[in-house]
Structure 1
Amino acid sequence: MTEGESAQDGTGGRAAPIEQATAPSPVVAIRAAIVRGEFVPNQRLVEADLSAQFGASRAGVRAALLELANEGLVERMQNRGARVRAVSLAEAVEICEVRMVLEGLCAAKAAERVTSAEIGELTSIGTAMRSAVASGDVLGYSELNQRLHRRVREIADQETATAVLERLRAQSVRHQFKLAMHPGRPAVSLPEHLAIIEAVCAHDADAAERAARAHLRSVIGALREADDAGTGVRHLP
């Protein structure tokens, strides 16, 4: 049976058509490539190359680059097309300062709305984070880190804050992975994350907000320390 055909059901009739897998839109594909670090800061984004790489039309790629420019991921250059926008340390710090407020809000909202099932999920994430740090699994810890922040935002159900945070995190992607790799960073951030989990699970909105803000202040300090050490920084913890 070829793609797009529908399977026969047991009675000789036709079952529902089998859905074909669809490729992500150009904007989704290019955004994901930037976030994964496949395209480096200041790298030119050539429409013809992107069209071939992602199997999209030139018009679709052009529209995607315009949208990504509005998101702050891409920079349009006069008569020179587009390139991946570089984010300086100063801007990364500013992004963290805004995140501090919004992530604090989301943590407080999550504490007010968290269910018993979600408490179990957050507790499990915390346990897994402890294990990752104890075993030196830095990449695993980074993934759990992102998962925790994402779940707190989802539980908070504050759509406006979530939309802004997703955009800010994408913009600062270059200042993220190496921060997680910075010597000793997971051991420092673990208790900060556990404090957020504890406060949210205790339905203590004020404590959750304070814990989230304290964590982002710590991230700002780590960003500056990493920059001073010449390590630069990809998934902000």
Structure 2
Amino acid sequence: MGTFVAVPSRRELTELFQMKELLEGAAARLPAFRGNVPELATLEANMRAADDAVRDGDTDRYASLVHEFHDLIVSGADNGKLEAHYRTLMYQLAYARLVRTSLSRPGRLNASDSEHHRVLGLIAAKDGDGAERVMREHVRLSHQALMAGIDERRGEELL
């Protein structure tokens, strides 16, 4: 017997992304209200590396940086319960496999990078409402790109 990863159904993906939107929206909101956010410098370094990956067309590197960016936002929320729920969600989502499908959509690489810049700018500006709104929009757009990529690859494995 081997190990396998169950691929979530379309409905499960939608439900998981709805939860991702809620958790990451809250996670983006919270650091904007914190005084000193030590993750901010790391997020800025992540964005510089992401910009380089986009410029070079390195989707694999960018996908790794996307995961790191979202993890940093969640850890920057400084809320252990939110982080625990987020980790469970990401495990259920098997996000590392799915992000590449989302990023394969035409224009999504540049759009995702731009959306990350907007979220980070709002956090730095201490605009929690704006950071939450833009992060939620970013997750919705990622979900839409993912579903379009799945439809395009129907019948193929997501790996």
| Pairwise same-fold verdict (TM > 0.5) | yes
Gaps of 5+ in 1: 1-43, 47-82
Equivalences, count = 155
Gaps of 5+ in 2: none
TM-score scaled to structure 2, two decimals? 0.86
Select the residue among 103, 107, 111 that pairs with 1:188: 111
1:212 aligns with 2:135: yes
State the secondary structure of the residue aligned to 1:210: helix
> What amino acid is aligned across from residue 113 of structure 2 in structure 1?
L
Once the two structures are aligned, what percentage of the paired residues are identical?
Answer: 28
Specify whether residues 233 and 199 from structure 1 end up closer, same or farther in structure 2 by C-alpha distance, changes over 3 A only.
farther
Which residue does the alignment assign to 1:109?
30
Which residue does the alignment assign to 2:55?
134
1:143 aligns with 2:64: yes
Which residue does the alignment assign to 1:85?
6
What is the CA distance between 1:163 and its match in structure 2? Answer: 1.1
> What amino acid is aligned across from residue 72 of structure 2 in structure 1?
R
State the secondary structure of the residue aligned to 1:176: helix
Separation of aligned partners in 2, 1:197 and 1:230: 32
Residues 108 and 208 in structure 1, CA contact (< 8 A), matched pair in contact too: yes
Specify whether residues 228 and 170 from structure 1 end up closer, same or farther in structure 2 by C-alpha distance, changes over 3 A only.
same
Which residue does the alignment assign to 2:123?
200
Which residue does the alignment assign to 1:230?
153
> What amino acid is aligned across from residue 202 of structure 1 in structure 2?
A
Residues 102 and 165 in structure 1, CA contact (< 8 A), matched pair in contact too: yes
Bigger relative CO (Cα 8 Å, ≥ 6 apart): 2
Residues 103 and 109 in structure 2, CA contact (< 8 A), matched pair in contact too: yes
What is the CA distance between 1:109 and its match in structure 2? Answer: 0.5
What is the CA distance between 1:111 and its match in structure 2? Answer: 1.2
Residue-by-residue CA offset, 1:52-74 (whole Å, 9 max, x unaligned):
xxxxxxxxxxxxxxxxxxxxxxx
What is the CA distance between 1:176 and its match in structure 2? Answer: 3.1
> What amino acid is aligned across from residue 212 of structure 1 in structure 2?
M
What is the CA distance between 1:190 and its match in structure 2? Answer: 0.9
> What amino acid is aligned across from residue 175 of structure 1 in structure 2?
L
State the secondary structure of the residue aligned to 2:8: coil
Give RMSD over aligned pairs.
Answer: 2.1
Specify whether residues 168 and 198 from structure 1 end up closer, same or farther in structure 2 by C-alpha distance, changes over 3 A only.
same
Which residue does the alignment assign to 2:87?
166
Larger Rg: 1
Residues 179 and 233 in structure 1, CA contact (< 8 A), matched pair in contact too: no
Separation of aligned partners in 2, 1:101 and 1:92: 14
> What amino acid is aligned across from residue 185 of structure 1 in structure 2?
R
Separation of aligned partners in 2, 1:114 and 1:126: 21
Residues 132 and 138 in structure 1, CA contact (< 8 A), matched pair in contact too: yes
Give 4+ residue runs of structure 1 displaced > 2 Å after superposition: 83-86, 114-121, 174-185, 231-234
What is the CA distance between 1:147 and its match in structure 2? Answer: 1.0
TM-score scaled to structure 1, two decimals? 0.59
What is the CA distance between 1:222 and its match in structure 2? Answer: 0.7
State the secondary structure of the residue aligned to 1:85: coil
Separation of aligned partners in 1, 2:63 and 2:32: 23
